[in-house]
Amino acid sequence: MHWKLKKISRMGGLYFSRLLNKPLVKPSTITITLTNRCNLYCMMCDHWKNKSKEELSLEKIKNIIDQVSKWGIKGIDLSGGEPFVRKDIFDIIQYATKKNIAINITTNATLLDKEKIEKLINSSVTRIQISLDGAKAETHDLIRGKKGSFRKVMETIDCFNKLKGENDIKLNVTTVIMKQNLSELIDLIKLAKELKLNSITFQPVVDDNLDIRRRNMLNPLRIPNSQLGLMDKVINEIIEIRKKGPFIGNSIQHLESIRKYFKNQPLKRIKCYAGFNFGVIAPNGKLWSCMGDFSNLDKETVKNSWLSTEAREKREMIKKCKSPCLYPCYLSSNTDNLLQATINILKGK
């Protein structure tokens, strides 16, 4: 099928899945959270404080990949914690590569060297999502809790650029907007362009990343009232850059929502597709959503868990979410107005 028809059909499928609370389309990807462990100590993250060593075994992960492949899902996301702290990470990548599954990896990019980067380039990894939180080394290192992290990220990106040759592997960065880096966001966009990255996507700092629905206006990482004027100016500039092309991964509506989120203003009409668009497997082996687990994959297949009554109940709660976390991957403005979105796709916008 032509890619435009595929995109329209998926968009319609998602829209009606959410409307009817009945998954009419398969998840586009399955995210496997490989670990909670991490080698960094980011200010906004609670993963590294989590002492749980619970992780899926290599055998279980291979079994999940088999199921994903059999179900006809073409991609998996490997995330953490930091995926590269796992000693068997390349066994996992190799296994998914043999099954022809496209892999997206989210990483802090501090544990990669030339040999590992070569292996990644020669695998079915199609996209690497790198965290970058400052245009200056001191800002990134302060936020990430480890000196030398920025330098390591720069070396990793440089090495990818030198080695990737004709390989179309995409390197994207994600930046968490917070008080500590607000004044550097425009420079970060410039840096991402200089580094020949494919895109940069912003997300606002969440107040509690173990419960992304929680709000705490006293969170010291939030943008304080005294800096809201600066935030308006910065968001306006990002929107202007976004209007010129898709290098900024957020939609304009999403950027406007980030502005409102920091001002603690009500957010307009945000539809969350968590639990509809893609599945997330936690290190404890459960298909997971912010509203709670679906069911344990020791007892169920991924597909049955996705179609289960528990999943339906959690999706009902997701539809009623009153504290949107603004994770860009969950929110879709495309499906709000199907007709307009269809016209946009047909026009190639």
The site for ligand SF4 (CB under 6 A) is made up of 38, 40, 42, 45, 47-48, 80-82, 108, 131, 212-213, 272, 274, 290, 318, 321, 323-325, 327, 330
Nearer to ligand SF4, 49 or 74 (CB): 49
> Minimum CB separation from ligand SF4 for residue 331, in Å?
7
Nearer to ligand SF4, 40 or 101 (CB): 40
According to DSSP, the residues that pair with 29 across neighbouring strands are 75
Nearer to ligand SF4, 62 or 256 (CB): 256
Angle at the Cα of 14 from the Cα atoms of 12 and 17, rounded to 5 degrees: 110
Long-range contacts of 120-123 (CB under 8 A, 24+ apart): 120/93, 120/169, 121/160, 121/163, 121/164, 121/165, 121/167, 121/169, 123/93, 123/94, 123/96, 123/97
Nearer to ligand SF4, 73 or 318 (CB): 318
CA gap 259, 248 in Å, rounded: 16
> Minimum CB separation from ligand SF4 for residue 106, in Å?
8
> Minimum CB separation from ligand SF4 for residue 45, in Å?
3
> Minimum CB separation from ligand SF4 for residue 108, in Å?
4
Q: Check if the beta carbon of residue 119 is closer than 8 Å to that of residue 91.
A: no
Q: Which amino acid is at 178?
A: M
User: What is the residue whose two structure tokens read 């004044």?
Assistant: 183
> Minimum CB separation from ligand SF4 for residue 80, in Å?
5
Nearer to ligand SF4, 176 or 341 (CB): 176
> Minimum CB separation from ligand SF4 for residue 283, in Å?
12
Three-state DSSP class for residue 252:
helix
- What is the DSSP secondary-structure string of 167-227? ---EEEEEEEE-GGGGGGHHHHHHHHHHTT-SEEEEEEPPS-TTSTT---TT-TTSPPGGG
Q: What single-letter DSSP state applies at residue 83?
A: G
Nearer to ligand SF4, 151 or 190 (CB): 151
Nearer to ligand SF4, 16 or 327 (CB): 327
CA gap 77, 46 in Å, rounded: 20
> Minimum CB separation from ligand SF4 for residue 245, in Å?
27
